[in-house]
Structure 1
Amino acid sequence: MTPPADPYVPPQPDDAPDLVARGPESLPIVVPHLVGFVPEHSFVVLGLDDASNRAAVTLRFDIPPAGLSDDELLRALEAWTYAFEALSRSGAAAATVVIYPADAGEQWSDVIVDELPYRELAELLEEMLTAAEHDVREVVCVVGDRTRSYLCENLGCCPVEGRALDPSEALRIRASLVERGSAPMSRRQSLVDALDARPDDDPVRAAVLHARPGALARQSGEVVADVEAFLHAVAHWGHNRDGAARRFTRLVATAGLLVLDIPPRDYLLRELAVECDRPILEAVRTVLSEAVRCARDDEVAALAAVLGVSAWLSGDGAAARIALDRSLAADPSYSLAHLMSAALDAGIPPWSWRESMRDLTAEAILAAARPGQARSPA
């Protein structure tokens, strides 16, 4: 079974970064920042706005292994077709496909020079996207820092040794991405490992459990006040993290308490979507990530699901998918994780969630909590 796509949807247009990267030679630098890690044995589809060439959505897929049955291949094709619909929903009229071979190593090699790998896959993807009425701008193979087009046969334009970005232009793009705080992982598994549970004797886990009674004592029982106090404290910590280990530990302990009850969890989700700017959202993600690692068994599903929403609101589909998978592994019935997974599968942009949350008041959230079911099912 082919897993769903890892989508990256940029922030709303008003918040979009103004990074300009031209030409396929920039893809080896830019794509890892879009998907959150350096892809391997993958293909990536960039949905582009036809007028501005702005990346509207980015989808990453595993390349199916050899030897799949016909039924397995058909299921993969169905998953791709469904995911490609996200391009239209995001307003993307054009697409660029980037193929990352699994066995080409970190440098362009004789294997690539002789013949580009996965040529049949490249042709199939071009046909599928064209049939879906998307203008396929380019299909390229990326190995290390080099690219070569599957569509261009002009060796003067696309030499067999591939093309690399001009060093000064590469430096400009990297500096711009670093300035924005973008730091992709070396591989997808690193994102999974970053949410691994800490062992029982881990000192960070012990510190969080030690802080739990104090965090519990500070809860007022007033949903709005408790959530807003938490976000204010996270923002304060985010602005000055040096020497704030004890404050961070307290925030991690508080996060576990907030998301177990449905009203504060849902009000927190509303505030994250509507009221929090990007720096606060990133600070919340850091707190929630550690909270997932230190959580008790009955807290993992809720914390990981809220982390998934936070990552999705940041446009980070890969991290969102991994957090939601962690939630469902802890509790396969956790409804919020199922809801958000369906949104990722459909390529729904995060700003649609923001718009729906904007009209949701604290009163409505509190009223929606059914009597006797204030506690999250996780």
Structure 2
Amino acid sequence: MTSISTLVLSSPADILAAVPYLIGFHPQDSLVVAAFAGSALRVTTRWDLPIGPGALDPLAALLRRERMTMAVLAGYGPAALVTPAVDQTLRLLREGDVHVAEALRAEGGRYWSYVCARADCCPPEGTPYDPVSGRVAAEAVVHGLVALPDRRTLVRSVEPYGGLRRVAMSQATRRVAADVRALLTRAERPDETAAAFVADGLARVRSAIGRYDSGGRLDDEEAARLGLDLAVIRVRDEAWALIDDREAHLALWRDLTRRLDPRFVAPVASLLAASAWRDGDCALAGLALERALAADPAYSMANLLCQALRHLLPPDALRERMPAPEELDAQMGRPRMSWLVPLIALLGEERPLLAG
């Protein structure tokens, strides 16, 4: 789902150099499939090797649904690990009448082709290539694409902060939670209080997106308050409906996924997943969903996005069903205190301050 229209790929080495920028990191022990409809890249997906039983089944459905016509395969690792996966994928693609333009194995700075048997082109000892400093890598960087050194580096990019930053955020969360708890406790007109809370939350969502769009950042108390706001589904759905191509969404939701108290992580991590998925970064989307479900295994948005990723659905599949922000009010009606019940439950889960 990531576009490479800005990169000119004219050789197997170019393909292997482009793959890390399509998936966000330099893969190891992996199979990557890039599938096209005509000349348009429609999906890039990766599997850990060895591939488990049934793991490729969604690919067959994807080929039919998106009318794929061409694919490129790249396997990373030793032949004993890569070749069975490539053979299985080649059979699946050919059964789907998909032309395989290239199928490669890369290891130790060399590559081998599964579709070329010419010794002058693809010698038995492999062909050397440079995945880091070649022309394609340089062009990718110029166009703002990023390839982290490995998957572990990508994992660390969504892990919670520790040390003093965590202590400061925990203290800010306690202050904000106490203020909100007091506000809700003394509410004389509950539904009016709920309406004001939701209106303020919607405004804070838009303000936060604007802040990150201009290169700014929320302070700890602002971040904590937005985390509480997003526990309310109406506010969370506003943020979901506003997701577009701006990098501000990735920056905002990744930042809050790393900063917020675990109680409040599920909504922001799910929004990070939705933003990454829209951007074509399925690897980041999957890691964000792991954070969301670790915080709340029953969180519906995270489970919905997990199903979409597992079945290789394109982002449009859900985006086209998402109401516009102005339609959410018509669908959900006037705010009621019952909307705040999930937040009230979280506010009751006070936890001790941790420094580590």
Q: Which residue does the alignment assign to 2:338?
A: 372
Q: Is the 8 A contact 1:263 1:365 kept in 2?
A: no
Structure 1 residue 211: Cα displacement: 4.1
Q: Which residue of 241, 247, 250 corresponds with 1:282?
A: 250
Equivalent residue runs for 1:252-267 within 5 Å: 252-267=223-238
2:90 is the counterpart of 1:126: yes
**Alignment-mate amino acid for residue 317 of structure 2:** S
Equivalent residue runs for 1:9-28 within 5 Å: 9-10=1-2, 18-28=6-16
Residue identity over aligned pairs, in percent, reads: 28
Q: Which residue of 302, 311, 320 corresponds with 1:355?
A: 320
Structure 1 residue 91: Cα displacement: 3.9
Structure 1 residue 154: Cα displacement: 0.6
Q: Which residue does the alignment assign to 1:147?
A: 111
Structure 1 residue 130: Cα displacement: 1.0
Equivalent residue runs for 1:204-353 within 5 Å: 204-212=165-173, 213=175, 221=196, 223=198, 226-241=201-216, 247-272=218-243, 276-284=244-252, 288-353=253-318
Structure 1 residue 278: Cα displacement: 2.2
Q: Which residue does the alignment assign to 2:152?
A: 189
Structure 1 residue 168: Cα displacement: 12
Structure (1 or 2) with the larger CA radius of gyration? 2
Give the Cα separation in 2 of the matches to 1:94 and 1:369.
49
Give the Cα separation in 2 of the matches to 1:257 and 1:158.
58
2:17 is the counterpart of 1:29: yes
Q: Which runs of 5+ in 2 are unaligned?
A: 181-193, 347-356
Q: Deviations over 1:241-292 (max 9, x none)?
A: 5xx6xx45455324312321111011111111xxx332322332xxx22322
Q: Is the 8 A contact 2:37 2:67 kept in 1?
A: yes
Give the Cα separation in 1 of the matches to 2:316 and 2:309.
13
Give the Cα separation in 1 of the matches to 2:54 and 2:117.
31
Equivalent residue runs for 1:64-143 within 5 Å: 64=50, 76-101=52-77, 118-143=82-107
Cα separation, partners in 2 of 1:250 and 1:160, compared to 1, 3 Å? farther
Q: Which runs of 5+ in 1 are unaligned?
A: 1-8, 66-75, 105-114
Q: Is the 8 A contact 1:324 1:337 kept in 2?
A: yes
Q: Equivalent residue of 2:103, what SS?
A: strand
**Alpha carbon RMSD of aligned pairs, Å?**
3.3
Cα separation, partners in 2 of 1:222 and 1:10, compared to 1, 3 Å? farther
Q: Is the 8 A contact 2:17 2:134 kept in 1?
A: yes
Give the Cα separation in 1 of the matches to 2:22 and 2:67.
18
Q: Deviations over 1:74-102 (max 9, x none)?
A: xx34221223422333442211111101x
Q: Which residue does the alignment assign to 1:4?
A: none
Cα separation, partners in 2 of 1:37 and 1:255, compared to 1, 3 Å? farther
Q: Deviations over 1:143-189 (max 9, x none)?
A: 25432201211111112343355899933x22332233222222222
**Alignment-mate amino acid for residue 205 of structure 1:** R
Q: Is the 8 A contact 2:209 2:248 kept in 1?
A: yes
Give the Cα separation in 2 of the matches to 1:190 and 1:93.
34
Q: Which residue of 22, 25, 41 corresponds with 1:55?
A: 41
Give the Cα separation in 1 of the matches to 2:314 and 2:225.
29
Give the Cα separation in 2 of the matches to 1:316 and 1:92.
20
Q: Is the 8 A contact 2:29 2:81 kept in 1?
A: no
The normalised TM-score by structure 1 is: 0.75
Q: Is the 8 A contact 1:262 1:369 kept in 2?
A: no
Give the Cα separation in 1 of the matches to 2:301 and 2:334.
15
The normalised TM-score by structure 2 is: 0.80
Cα separation, partners in 2 of 1:78 and 1:277, compared to 1, 3 Å? closer
Give the Cα separation in 2 of the matches to 1:129 and 1:205.
48
Give the Cα separation in 2 of the matches to 1:141 and 1:33.
17
